[in-house]
Amino acid sequence: MSIRILLADDHEIVRYGLRCLIEEQPDMEVVGDAVNGRMAINLTYELRPDVVVMDISMPDMNGIEATRRIRKEIPDTKVIVLSMHHKRQFVIDMLKAGVSGYILKTKVHDDLIRAIKAAVANEVYLSSKITGIMAHDFASSMSISDKSASAVLTPREREVLQLISEGKSTKESALHLNVSIKTIESTRRQIMQKLDIHNVADLTKYAINEGITSLDF
Amino acid sequence: MSIRILLADDHEIVRYGLRCLIEEQPDMEVVGDAVNGRMAINLTYELRPDVVVMDISMPDMNGIEATRRIRKEIPDTKVIVLSMHHKRQFVIDMLKAGVSGYILKTKVHDDLIRAIKAAVANEVYLSSKITGIMAHDFASSMSISDKSASAVLTPREREVLQLISEGKSTKESALHLNVSIKTIESTRRQIMQKLDIHNVADLTKYAINEGITSLDF
DNA sequence: CCCCAAATACAGAGATTTCCTGATACACTT
DNA sequence: AAGTGTATCAGGAAATCTCTGTATTTGGGG
């Protein structure tokens, strides 16, 4: 039986490339495409793939949050992360979220198939570049300073923070999440209180530093 | 004779996807790969492709600068831009640099082949999403170059943008510059209009990209 | 099993900001 | 002298933010 794979990336061309790459393998098949984290979660529920190949930076809901939920709610499905960042905090967040692999976009060809095979075998695969970067961190201590958003903010708060830092207004965010404006307001208020930040500009910088949003707009 | 194409993108998986897509066409062939703008220029000199498919954001030298130089120095080679941005100013900059096509990464499949064919026929192809965004600019009887020239911020506007992107409120900014709140309001509106940005989050990202503020807070 | 703390969702009301149309003064160009 | 762009400010309506509370749910400890 072949390995069933779901792709999640907002760039169609990346999904296309991944699909080409994977379908060269006789024992693997792509069963679905998602363009953001929310869609990835829904399709994972629906299709129950063996592996999700997930981009980190996506609009609406990013890959970190989506990975967290998938690993929690559908633990049979493994997640492999596709990223262009090799920042330490990113990798740590993803490992905490329970990913089975971390691959850099600049070096997919060599790593993807191996990572998928490792994932279904319950192993963790990291790009060689990543392991080098992480090495001394593991040596020093396994628990890293937990003042990152993943530690302080709740999942819902991170979700709202991403929307805010992507330029969504309160109203747009409320519509997007199907809750009232008042709810978004109090969630944002909660975020600001927790972080001791009291304006959107600094909130955006925080989100960028935490990898919750990107510098693109 | 087949159309000879050079790919320029720092993500291997994107190049792979583009290559798959293009090689489905009988009359097109990929003659080379570049991982940044500088390499794209060198390979264009060496290989003399008919078309370069160029990503905008690449390390070392970005796609905008590389496009400018290729169009100037090797005008026989057409350039098609691959971007995830759909901001007006971005598109205008690229059109001024002489691109033959502007395609969004979220929608490559439908557009790429058509754009390549348009390029070799000396036509310009824009993603439908792009044309929609550009439409009202053309309708408002303002020429592109006029808008583009006015997009440069005045010193005062940059000063106000800095304050905003540093988290100052309208009132604080007014106090800081010893002017009325109304003045800050209209200056900010002027900034937002020029940049086609309509929220503080994206304004902050712009300011960071422009070096007007830092990521610290 | 119950209770508590945290997370999530929502409301009212006043303060603040945004959004729109104008308007004035000044410098610089043509 | 006329035109253009910059910088300044006003008024008023609409939207948002801020603050104070409250209800419901959920996930552990005791």
Segment A59-67 shows an average pLDDT of 76
**Residue B113 DSSP symbol:** H
CA atoms within 13 Å, Cβ hemisphere of A101: 29
- Within 184-213 of B, beta carbons closer than 8 Å to A belong to 197-206, 208-209, 213
Segment B8-36 shows an average pLDDT of 92
Maximum C-alpha span of chain B: 68
Q: What is the mean pLDDT of chain A?
A: 82
- Looking at the DSSP bridge assignments, the partners of residue B52 are B6, B79
- Report whether A48 contacts B145 (CB < 8 A): no
Q: Which residues contact B35 (CB under 8 A, 6 or more apart)?
A: A106, B8, B9, B10, B58
Residue B191 corresponds to which amino acid? I
DSSP per-residue letters across B153-207: PPHHHHHHHHHHHTT--HHHHHHHHTS-HHHHHHHHHHHHHHHT--SHHHHHHHH
- Report whether A2 contacts A27 (CB < 8 A): yes
C1' (C22) to CA (B186) span, angstroms:
12
Q: Supply the pLDDT for residue B61.
A: 59
Distance CA A21, CA A105 (A): 13
First to last CA, chain B: 57
- Report whether B191 contacts B159 (CB < 8 A): no
Tell me the per-residue pLDDT of B157-195, one tens digit each, with 9 for 90 and over. 888 888 899 899 899 889 888 899 999 999 999 889 888
Say if residue A147's pLDDT is above 50: no
C1' (D14) to CA (A199) span, angstroms:
21
Q: Supply the pLDDT for residue A183.
A: 93
Indicate the SS3 state at residue A212: coil
- Within 1-20 of A, beta carbons closer than 8 Å to B belong to 10-18, 20
Interface contact B13-A105, CB threshold 8 A: yes
Q: Which residue has the tokens 């062939």?
A: B29
Spacing of C-alpha B179 from chain mean position? 35
C1' (D3) to CA (B198) span, angstroms:
30
Question: Hey, what's the torsion of the CAs at A92, A93, A99, A101, to 10 degrees?
Answer: -50
Q: Which of A205, A107, A120 is nearest to A161 (CA)?
A: A205
Mode of pairing for the β-strands spanning B28-34 and B3-8: parallel
- Within 74-93 of A, beta carbons closer than 8 Å to B belong to 82, 84
Distance CA B11, CA B34 (A): 10
Distance CA A176, CA B112 (A): 31
This prediction has a pTM of 0.71
First to last CA, chain A: 42
Tell me the per-residue pLDDT of B51-90, one tens digit each, with 9 for 90 and over. 999 987 766 556 777 888 888 888 899 999 888 766 666 6
Residue of A13, A84, A85, A188 to mutate when probing chain B, most B C-beta within 10 A: A13
Closest C1' nucleotide to A171's CA: D16
Nucleotides in chain D with any atom closer than 7 Å to protein CB: 5-11, 15-21
Q: Supply the pLDDT for residue B93.
A: 66
CA distance, residue A68 to nearest chain B CA (Å): 25
- Looking at the DSSP bridge assignments, the partners of residue B6 are B32, B52
For residue B53, CA distances in Å to A143, B26, B103 come to: 44, 18, 10
Q: Which residues contact A174 (CB under 8 A, 6 or more apart)?
A: A180, A181, A183, A184
Distance CA B80, CA B127 (A): 11
φ and ψ of B146, to 5 deg: -60, -50
C1' (D18) to CA (B147) span, angstroms:
38
Say if residue A137's pLDDT is above 60: no
